[in-house]
Amino acid sequence: MKLSDGEFLNAAREVSVRFPQIKFEEMIVDATCMYLTLKPSTFDVMLLPNLYGSIMGSVVAGLVGGPGIATGVNIGENHLMFEQGARHPAKDLIASKTGNPIAFILSSATMLKHLKLTKYADAFTKAVY
Per-residue pLDDT of 45-91, as tens digits, reads 899 998 898 888 888 888 888 777 888 888 888 999 888 777 666 67
Percent with pLDDT over 70 in the chain: 96
Q: Domains in the chain and their CATH numbers? A: 2-128 (3.40.718.10)
Choice between 95 and 110, residue whose per-residue pLDDT is larger: 110
Residues contacting residue 26 through CB under 8 Å, at least 6 positions apart: 9, 12
pTM of the entire structure?
0.71
- Given a contact cutoff of 8 angstroms between Cβ atoms, the answer to whether 73 and 110 are in contact is yes
Alpha helical stretches, state H, 19-117: 29-38, 50-64, 102-114
Section 30-59 average pLDDT: 90
Choice between 64 and 26, residue whose per-residue pLDDT is larger: 26
User: To the nearest 10°, the Cα dihedral for 48, 77, 124, 83?
Assistant: -50
Q: Report pLDDT for 116.
A: 96
Q: Report pLDDT for 90.
A: 67
Average pLDDT, the chain: 88
Q: Is the pLDDT of residue 10 over 90?
A: yes
Interatomic CA distance for residues 49 and 9, integer angstroms:
10
Q: Report pLDDT for 93.
A: 72
Q: Is the pLDDT of residue 105 over 80?
A: yes
Choice between 87 and 42, residue whose per-residue pLDDT is larger: 42
- Given a contact cutoff of 8 angstroms between Cβ atoms, the answer to whether 83 and 73 are in contact is yes
